[in-house]
Amino acid sequence: MILRTAAPARLIYPEDIAHRVLILGGGFGGLYAALSLRHAKVEVTLVDRRNFHLFQPLLYQVATGSLSPGDICAPLRGILSRQKNTRVLLGEAAGIDPAARRVKLLDAAELGYDSLIVATGSKSSYFGNPEWCEWAPSLKTVEEATAIRHKILYAFEAAERVGDADERRAWLTFAIIGGGPTGVELAGALAEIARQTLKNDFRSIHPQDARIVILDGGSRVLATYPEDLSRHAEAALDRLGVEVRTGVRVVAVSRDGISIQSAGSAPQWQAAKTVLWAGGVQVTTFGKTLAESTRAPTDKHGRIRVMPDLTIPGFPQIYVVGDLAGADDAAGNSLPGVAQVAMQGGAYAARAIVQRLEGAPVLRPFHYFDKGDLAVIGRGSAVARIFGLHLSGLPAWLVWLFVHLMYLVQFQNRVVVFVQWGFQYLTFSRGARLITGKAISDSVTAVDGMKNLSEE
């Protein structure tokens, strides 16, 4: 497909004039864009509101006390320190003037660009009930992960001290809303904590009695996976003692539990002191601002419908990659919001910028190379669709282990994570079982402090 850029000539610069590439976001999309520009004759500025890249696929391990935040985060400056054409700025994009080619940061500073790569990702969606986030933290940031860790560990502590049987039951009930990979991974890890890690730690309760429930509105967990893998996952969860309830909709979330509803029946109350949100995502505030400022078309999730080269229609110098980009594959299916899509999108945008600078008039459209899907359920248990193969059990888990260790950005982290996992596998112990923040408080307070962060 031949790309029709609005004014391709404008984007070709003589070699001696530095072309300014501004990248917003240091997640998979932004970081891989920056890394792909390391040999390019451009000036790269990467802006993120955090000083680190977060290896999101392992965030559930922080939430469940296996790894420390430091194990799955790498300072952006450290990763890019030797890339001399690149600078990293701590900042948050707040607005854009696409005609003047300037991005405004929250603190009113402005950054000009010749090419812009927007990779600001997504945030959790509570389906129109943002107030639920207070009682049901999601798993998008490091702070939310430590808040979830706090909630889980505190629930067992509270159950140990409570006299009333119903209240103890509520503290030992864990409801996970959403049966996608995050929900399945959280449930599996929670089951391991309850059945193994904490087995001998309490005197008044049996952590093994904890009830762990996954609730999903669809007909099966891992809805985006092939059906046979969903069945494998459900069987594996069942063996771990995790209940799966499909076809139910959450209609209320409060401090003490949730109300759920199946089609055609009345809402039903479920007492649960720990509710975790693994529902959907939505675009960030800056994503909305960008769509408005460029009058870009958006899909029903608010993602920007990009051109085949990932640019915004009418703005061939603005690339959108990762979760914010509403792009389709060859079959016309919307590309999923996963790390692979973001990484490949970031690398594509970098290549496209270089090619245009070199005067290449025709660019191949972005093509997502789908390597597959992986979801881990527990020790030695996972499901994988990889290069067309469907794997489950130990083989899938070994693939998962290999892939995740290889992708962890920093070599140092890779070794530390490997050591942590090795010990954990042998001993069932979890090294990072800390309740930080104000430990003695209703779990409410702990999550409350996170509100600002989870909401963007």
Q: Is 267 helix (H, G, I), strand (E, B) or coil?
A: coil
**Listed ranges 13-21, 102-110, 125-133, 213-221: which one lies at the site for its own copies (CB under 8 A):** 102-110
Contact predicate 91/107, CB 8 Å: yes
Residue from 107, 128, 266, 331 that binds its own copies (CB under 8 A)?
107
**19 vs 430, beta carbon nearer its own copies:** 430
Contacts of 10 (CB under 8 A, 6+ apart): none
404 residue type, one letter: H
Residue from 38, 92, 360, 390 that binds its own copies (CB under 8 A)?
92
φ/ψ bin of 442: left (φ > 0), alpha (ψ from -120 to 50), beta (otherwise): beta
Window 188-227: contact mask with its own copies (x via CB under 8 A) = ----------xxxxxxx-----------------------
Give least dist CB 92 to its own copies, A. 6
Q: What is the β-pairing status of strands 110-112 and 102-105?
A: antiparallel
Distances (CA, A) of 79 to 28, 86, 153, 180, 332: 13, 11, 33, 31, 36
Window 52-71: contact mask with its own copies (x via CB under 8 A) = x--------------xxxxx
**Listed ranges 23-31, 168-176, 271-279, 416-424: which one lies at the site for its own copies (CB under 8 A):** 416-424
Contact predicate 257/272, CB 8 Å: yes
Distance, in Å, from the CA atom of 117 to the CA atom of 34, rounded to the nearest integer, reads 9
Give least dist CB 354 to its own copies, A. 21
Distance, in Å, from the CA atom of 191 to the CA atom of 188, rounded to the nearest integer, reads 5
Contact predicate 66/424, CB 8 Å: yes
Written as six digits, the tokens of 364 are 């191949």
176 forms beta bridges with 214, 276
∠ CA 39-405-144, rounded to 5°: 95
Give least dist CB 239 to its own copies, A. 25
1 forms part of the interface with its own copies (CB under 8 A): no
Q: What are the two backbone dihedrals, phi and then psi, of residue 413, each rounded to the nearest 5 degrees? A: -60, -40
**Listed ranges 18-26, 286-294, 341-349, 409-417: which one lies at the site for its own copies (CB under 8 A):** 409-417
The residues in 155-174 that bind its own copies, with binding defined as CB under 8 A, are 157, 160-161
**124 vs 413, beta carbon nearer its own copies:** 413
Residue from 12, 423, 425, 455 that binds its own copies (CB under 8 A)?
423
**71 vs 114, beta carbon nearer its own copies:** 71
Give least dist CB 437 to its own copies, A. 7
Residue from 3, 235, 281, 453 that binds its own copies (CB under 8 A)?
453
How would DSSP label each residue in 327-370? -B-TTSPBPPSSHHHHHHHHHHHHHHHHHHHTT----PPP----
The residues in 229-288 that bind its own copies, with binding defined as CB under 8 A, are none
Q: Which long-range contacts (CB under 8 A, 24 or more apart) does 165-169 make?
A: 166/271, 168/205, 169/211, 169/271
Residue from 196, 270, 413, 443 that binds its own copies (CB under 8 A)?
413
454 forms part of the interface with its own copies (CB under 8 A): no
95 forms part of the interface with its own copies (CB under 8 A): no
49 forms part of the interface with its own copies (CB under 8 A): yes
438 forms part of the interface with its own copies (CB under 8 A): yes
Contact predicate 326/287, CB 8 Å: no
Window 294-333: contact mask with its own copies (x via CB under 8 A) = ----------------------------------------
Q: How many positions of this chain bind its own copies (CB under 8 A)?
A: 64
Give least dist CB 453 to its own copies, A. 7
CB atoms within 10 A of CB 230: 23
Give least dist CB 144 to its own copies, A. 11
Annotated catalytic residue: which of 185, 243, 358, 455? Answer: 185
Catalytic site residue 185?
Answer: yes
Distance, in Å, from the CA atom of 366 to the CA atom of 351, rounded to the nearest integer, reads 10
- Where on the chain is the footprint of its own copies (CB under 8 A)? 49-52, 67-71, 73, 75, 77-78, 81-82, 87-92, 106-107, 109, 142-143, 146, 153-154, 157, 160-161, 198-204, 410-413, 415-416, 419-420, 423-424, 427, 429, 431-440, 449, 452-453
Q: Which residues are catalytic?
A: 185
